[in-house]
Every structure is written in C-alpha cells, then in structure tokens.
Amino acid sequence: MSRRRTRRSILRTAVAGGIGSGLGDLSFLSRLGTVSAAEAKLNPGTVRFDASIEPTVRLLEDTPRDKLLEAIGVKIRGGMSYREVLASLLLAGVRNVQPRPSVGFKFHAVLVVNSAHLASLASPDAERWLPIFWALDYFKSSQARDVRENDWTMAAVDESAVPSANKARQAFIAAMDDWDEPAADAAVAGLARTAGAHEIFELFCRYGARDFRSIGHKAIFVANSWRTLQCIGWQHAEPVLRSLAYALLNHGGDNPAKRDDRADRPWRQNQERAARIRAAWWEGKPSSEATADLLETLRHGSEEDTCERVVELLNRGVAPASLWDAMLDGAGELTMRQAGIVALHAVTTTNALRYAFETTGNDETRRLMLLQNAAFLPMFRDAMHGRGPVGDQRIDQLEPVKIDSIGSGMLLEIFDEVSRDRTTAAGKVLTYLEQHPQGNDLIGAARRLVFFKGNDAHDYKFSSAVLEDHASISPAWRDRYLAASMFMLPGSADEDNGLVERTRAALKA
C-alpha cells in the first residue's frame, strides 16, 4: 500500500462518523467494552484511595512500560472501570514524578491527565480508552526519566507540623506568600483534610496565576488537577494538592518575595488595577470593536499596557466575554507567528485561566484571572523571540481559500493540506466553516488525528484546549480561532505515533 493511501485511510478513520467503514479500524477497542458518556463524567463518591485503589497505582508504578498496556487491558476486561484507571493514573503521577526543575518536562505525565480525559469525553463511546492508554504509556516514559534524573518519590507528610483545622488556611497562605516549601507542604495537608474543595480551589487559583515562571504550567496544573479531582473524587485530594503546592513554589534564585522580578510584577500591580474596575463590570455589553482594540494592544503593548486597556474597556461597559475573545484569538495568532512551544503555552495557559475565571465564585479572583492573562500574553509574545524567527501574521487577516473537494472529501483535503501548507489549510478551514458553522466533523477529525499522530503531551494539551475554547468564543471570532489551530494540530501526512497499533497488539490476548 502506498504512503498516500495509508494517510488517506487513516484520515478517513479520523473523519468517520457515518462516513464509510473507517470506524472498523478501531473495532478492536470493543474488546474492552465501551465507556458511556455517563461513566466518563464519573461519580466522585465511588472511588476511594485505600486498599481498593492502591493495587492499581502499584500496578502502574511497577509494571514495565512494554507490558503495561497489556496488563491494564486484562484488568479492564476483568471489570476495572474507567474511573479507577483515571484515578490511578493521576495518583501514580503525583507520587512518582517530581514537578522540578520546572513545572513541565517530565511532569507532563500529570499535567496531561485531564487533557486526555477531555479527549475521552469528546470521543465516541467505543473510542474513549485510546487517550487514556496513550497517557498510561506516557506516564511510564516520564517515570523512567524521573528515575534517571533523581528517582524522586513524594515523601510522607511531617504529621507533627500539620496545623489544626482552625489554623490551616492562614498557615497555608503565610507559607505560600513566603515561598516556604516545608511549611506549605504541612499546611496544605491540613487544609486538604479540613477545608472545602471550593475554598481550596479559590486559594490555588490565585497562587497558580501569581507569576509567569514555567511559561504558564502553574496555572495549567491548578486547572487540570482541580478538573481531574472533580472526576475521581475529592478523597484523593491530599497528595495531589501537596504536589500542586510544591509545583507552585518553583523558582530560581533568591526568594521571590524579596525581589522584584518581571515574572511577579503583574500580580502585584493587578491587585491595585482590579480595585479600579467598576462594580457592575460583569454586566457589560459585547463589542467586536473592543475585541479588535484589545487584540491590537496585545500585538504591540507591554503587559502594563494590556492590563490598563482591560481596565479601561471594562469601565467603558464592555462585556468580559469580548475581552476573552481578544485573548483567545491573540493566543491563536501567536501560533501563526511561531508554531512552537511558547505560543502553544499561550493557548493552554489562556484556557486554564479562562477556566479559573469561569469557575471561581469570587469577584476579585475573576478580575485577577482576566488581568493576569492580559499580562501573560505579551510576556509569551516577547519570550518567542528567544526561540527563533517570529512572523507578523494577523488572525483577522486570514482569508478563505477554495476547497476543491466536496462532502467528506473537504476534510480529507484540509488535513492533507495541514501537512503541506498550514496557512492554506487555515484558509480552507474558514471556507469549510462557512458551509458547516458548527464545525463538529472538523473538530472530531482533528481530535482523532491526535490519537493517530500525537507524540507528545503538548499535542493532547493543545488540542483539548483549542477544541474546548472554540465553543466559548463569539461567532464573529470563533472561526478564525479554529482556523489558526491548524498551525499546531497534526496533519494526515504526519508520522503515526504507533499508539493504535500498540493498543491493538496489547488487546489481542
């Protein structure tokens, strides 16, 4: 079979959903049983981190990488549920992979768990295991890297230092403000045992967004760990929160509380700016003109400029949703200018801070999430210059490009084009969305291509963020955001990752 036909066959699978017999390529997954949408949403009260889950965590930790998929396949066929696998995957990650020297690198084994789960939620019932099997394999590669570097394992908490219930919150705040790791570790254990989930999330939202170190991974870890805990159950929170606090305190050099780094400056300044936003800011009116205005400031302004512009627009009566439109499209535009790791994290960080903005119940925290994201985007933009050439493409100047094919062939043509000319592919997406405004088949094809082609945690993080945020953008700006994602999503001619074949082989027994 020619390479061309192989690519087309895979892509036909990716755009299947009533198209031909492409779904048969994944029929081997039926040996595991399907995962219904209801089960994938999970019931947090059914999983306990006790003797019933510990053996599965140990199975993940102790089984060699080349045997793990087979071992988990046997367990699933024997009755192990999706939620048990997901919980064990997260817990094995936080116990075995150190979020240092940066909250990234090998620690993506933890960061990607929620992204894989989101991909599972959005997949057909019969295919929901694929992203989880990928994440299982990725955990083993990260675990091996951790062993090579320092063989870190989360130690037991110092019980003698854990504060009482009435002191845990203040002890945690003091430790985090002082960047004191031992004190924060003990305090967060006390907090996890006595405080409510939403109270803890509120605190972590702020500390995850307070500095720009680790190019957004701190905010990403906050959002992703919270979202995964909502699925697997809050009874697993203590080790996850201990890992999270440790990650958020990552820094280089002297104590950040005693110096004035650029990474910390926006947080300090934005607390004053947040107080200047009018009381009824939440009730503003949508404005595409304001979106364009802020987008232009994001292109050229400093972090101070963009934050001041946000305050001005909110006080003028602009809806915060219009400002998020600008920031989401602005992050997408960065991927057009340099399709690399920094721009990718501008997208995934914006996704995390938007999620925190929408989830917190605290008005001041909402203001701060909006302002911090406005500050971070120019910092991402500036950081890109250290990674190579940066283009000058504008997301609002993308033009539709004619698609020669019809029907399902339109998607085949688009994703073939992604591997050849991403700018042309983005233009063809605009044309496709003129005829298919919801873009559901396009989104489904993009997601399934990640299953076949994704080789890195960033493929899952980026695709899950983009395909989620697309739905939250106003119609005037939504299509351009999705079109810009073609600069980072895999195309049909990209090399296969082997996941499907490895999973197929693992399930033969």
**pLDDT tens-digit map of 280-335:** 999 999 999 999 999 999 999 999 999 999 999 999 999 999 999 999 999 999 99
Identify the pLDDT of residue 196: 94
Q: What is the CA radius of gyration of the chain?
A: 23
Output the pLDDT for position 434: 96
Q: DSSP 3-state assignment of 280? A: coil
**What is the 3-class SS of 401-465, one letter each residue?**
CCCCCCCCHHHHHHHHHHCCCHHHHHHHHHHHHHHCCCCHHHHHHHHHHHHHHCCCHHHHHHHHH
User: Nearest Cα to 92, choosing from 43, 132, 129?
Assistant: 132
At 14 the pLDDT is: 58
117 or 100: which leads in pLDDT: 117
Of the pLDDT bands very low, low, confident and very high (cuts 50, 70, 90), residue 19 is: very low
Find, among 421, 428, 420, the residue nearest to 403 by Cα.
Answer: 428
C-alpha 241/C-alpha 479 separation (Å) is 37
Q: Tokens for 186, please give them.
A: 């003990």
Distance, in Å, from the CA atom of 377 to the CA atom of 333, rounded to the nearest integer, reads 11
Q: With contact defined as beta carbons under 8 Å apart, do 371 and 270 qualify?
A: yes
CB 109 within 8 A of CB 143: yes
Taking alpha carbons only, the member of 31, 114, 25 closest to residue 75 is 31
Q: What pLDDT sits at residue 100?
A: 86
How big is the chain, counted in residues?
Answer: 509
Quickly count: other Cβ atoms within 10 Å of residue 284's Cβ: 20
Amino acid 336: pLDDT: 98
The whole-number average pLDDT for the span 113-139 is 90
The string of DSSP codes covering 356-393 is HHHH---HHHHHHHHHHHHHHHHHHHHHHGGGS-----
pLDDT at 1: 39
Map residue 474 onto helix, strand or coil: coil
Asked if 232 contacts 81 with a C-beta cutoff of 8 angstroms, the reply is no
Owner of token pair 């934050």:
307
Mean pLDDT of 61-71: 94
Element (H, E) at 286: none
Sequential DSSP letters for 138-200:
HHHHHHHHHHHHT---PPPP-GGGPPPHHHHHHHHHHHHHHT-HHHHHHHHHHHHHHS-HHHH
Query: 239 preceded by cis ω (within 30°)?
Result: no
Q: Rounded to the nearest 5°, which phi and psi values hold at 419?
A: -80, -10
Indicate if the pLDDT at residue 265 is higher than 70: yes
State the residue for tokens 């395909």.
467
pLDDT at 501: 83
Alpha-carbon gap, residue 255 to 317, rounded angstroms: 40
- Supply φ then ψ for residue 318, to 5 degrees: -80, 140
Q: Is the pLDDT confidence value at 17 over 60?
A: no
- Tens of pLDDT, residues 331-365: 999 999 999 999 999 999 999 999 999 999 999 99
Q: What is the dihedral of CA 162, 166, 170, 173, to 10 degrees?
A: 60
Which H or E run includes 75?
helix 65-77
Write the single-letter amino acid at 423.
T
Contacts 24+ apart (CB under 8 A), 174-181: 176/203, 176/207, 176/245, 176/248, 176/249, 177/257, 178/255, 178/257, 179/249, 179/251, 179/255, 179/256, 179/257, 180/249, 181/246, 181/249
pTM of the model: 0.91
Average pLDDT over residues 36-53: 54
Q: How confident is the model at residue 506 (pLDDT cuts 50, 70, 90)?
A: confident
The phi-psi region of residue 277 (left if phi > 0; otherwise alpha if psi is between -120 and 50; otherwise beta) is beta
pLDDT digits (tens, 9 = 90+) for 71-91: 999 999 899 999 999 999 999
Domain boundaries, given as residue ranges, for the chain: 33-252, 274-387
With bands split at pLDDT 50, 70 and 90, how would you rate the model's confidence at 2? Answer: very low
Please determine, for residue 13, whether its predicted confidence score (pLDDT) is greater than 80. no
From CA 443, how far away is CA 420, in angstroms rounded?
19
**394: its two tokens:** 């504008």
Of 486 and 16, the structure prediction assigns the larger pLDDT to 486
The pLDDT confidence band at residue 102, using thresholds 50, 70 and 90, is confident
Q: Comparing 40-49, 149-158, 400-409, 489-498, which segment has the lowest mean pLDDT?
A: 40-49
CA–CA distance, 289 with 281 (Å, rounded to integer): 18
Contact between residue 439 and residue 415 where contact means Cβ atoms under 8 Å apart: no
Task: Residue 402: count other Cβ atoms within 10 Å of its Cβ.
Answer: 7
**In the numeric block, which tokens belong to residue 249?**
């305190």
pLDDT in the model for residue 282: 94
Mean pLDDT computed over every residue of the chain = 90
Q: Which residues contact 439 (CB under 8 A, 6 or more apart)?
A: 432, 433, 470, 479, 482
- Tokens 């985090």 — which residue? 176
pLDDT > 90 in the chain, percent: 78
